[in-house]
């Protein structure tokens, strides 16, 4: 019987170098997509998927994340007194996420590489499967991406990776799965991941998009990699390497996610995500559509 997934990790210690100078003082996780920071989309997605314990792994300079989610009763009271009920409710609701997702923060420590924050958090989780979501991806989906991953885990009792169909030209930006078998409902049996291959070398037309169900066996692989790192002090600790080591002898699945996906990890993708979110908002969409139609035809340029 697969265990219930209650815990999730959001690695949020990265520098956001691809978005500099935007991310010089502002954590990339705090950049807005629509009317809220990108990490709030991730936290809401996890809570909507039944996750009750979320660990956000941070580093120096990421205090704004904690400030954003921390309840602020004084501000709420001030807004209510001023009759600004809508704003008061909005601030209160964000603070409430902290309780609903039992948000805790952990300082990242250990070797470079995206496996380190996962191992830092997993140490506190015992023998439970956990969800890992990078906070660079925003999904608009009827069933949240995290829930689609949980369902795939429940069906297989094995580690699962979130996948999206990809244009081969984009392969050098992603981990690309080696697909062994195409099952029903977008579930794929995979035998490993090739990290950032050339378009010619890409083993499939899918990208791993920063959502994973990790089982204790994968955490063991991360631990081994980390121990080796401390022996030799070279290289980095990557989740992909741990998944590949695990998949060498045990089953791993990919789940093709149903929904629209917006990457926010590079400038063009981030602008696209912002634009799409604004277009989807009934308050701004019609105006922006008119504006976009008028561009280049003598209508005033936006400032």
Site of interaction with ligand G1P (CB under 6 A):
114, 134, 136, 174-175, 195, 207-210, 240, 265
Q: How far apart are CA 121 and CA 52, in angstroms?
A: 15
Show Cβ contacts of residue 291 under 8 Å, excluding neighbours closer than 6 positions: 299, 302
Q: What is the DSSP letter of 302?
A: P
**Which lies closer to ligand G1P via its Cβ, residue 79 or residue 176?**
176
Q: Buried b vs exposed e over 102-141: b needs ≥16 C-beta within 10 Å?
A: ebebbebeebebbbbbbbbbbeebeebbbbbbbbbbbbee
**Which lies closer to ligand G1P via its Cβ, residue 79 or residue 252?**
252
Shortest Å, Cβ 18 to ligand G1P: 9
Shortest Å, Cβ 21 to ligand G1P: 20
Shortest Å, Cβ 180 to ligand G1P: 18
Shortest Å, Cβ 207 to ligand G1P: 5
In the numeric block, the tokens 């958090």 are attached to: 121
75: helix, strand or coil: helix
CA 82, 88, 89: angle at the middle one, nearest 5? 145
**Which lies closer to ligand G1P via its Cβ, residue 146 or residue 209?**
209
**Which lies closer to ligand G1P via its Cβ, residue 94 or residue 166?**
166
In the bound state, the residue with its beta carbon closest to ligand G1P is: 175
**Which lies closer to ligand G1P via its Cβ, residue 144 or residue 175?**
175
Shortest Å, Cβ 269 to ligand G1P: 10
């Amino acid at each position: 019987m697969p265990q219930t997934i209650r815990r999730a990790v959001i690695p949020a210690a990265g520098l956001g170098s691809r978005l500099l100078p935007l991310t010089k003082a502002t954590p990339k996780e705090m950049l807005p997509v629509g009317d809220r920071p990108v990490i709030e989309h991730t936290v809401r997605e996890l809570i909507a998927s039944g996750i009750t314990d979320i660990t956000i792994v941070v580093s120096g300079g990421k205090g704004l994340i904690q400030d954003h989610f921390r309840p602020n009763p004084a501000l709420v009271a001030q807004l209510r007194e001023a009759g600004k009920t809508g704003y008061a409710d909005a601030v209160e609701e964000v603070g409430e996420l902290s309780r609903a997702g039992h948000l805790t923060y952990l300082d990242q420590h250990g070797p470079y590489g995206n496996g380190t924050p996962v191992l830092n958090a997993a140490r506190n989780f015992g023998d439970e499967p956990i969800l890992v979501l990078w906070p660079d991806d925003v999904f608009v989906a009827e069933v949240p991406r995290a829930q689609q991953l949980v369902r795939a885990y429940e069906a297989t009792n094995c580690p699962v990776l979130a996948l999206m169909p990809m244009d081969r030209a984009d392969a050098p930006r992603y981990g690309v799965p080696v697909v062994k078998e195409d099952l029903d409902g977008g579930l794929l049996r995979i035998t490993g991941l090739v990290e950032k291959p050339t378009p010619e070398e890409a083993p499939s037309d899918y990208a791993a998009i920063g959502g994973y169900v990790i089982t204790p066996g994968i955490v063991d692989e991360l631990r081994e990699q980390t121990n080796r790192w401390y022996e030799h002090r070279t290289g980095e600790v990557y989740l992909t390497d741990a998944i590949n080591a695990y998949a060498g002898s045990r089953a791993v699945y990919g789940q093709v996610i149903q929904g629209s996906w917006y990457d926010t990890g590079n400038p063009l993708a981030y602008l696209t995500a912002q634009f799409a979110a604004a277009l989807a908002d009934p308050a701004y969409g019609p105006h922006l559509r008119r504006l976009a139609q008028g561009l280049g035809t003598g209508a005033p340029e936006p400032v």
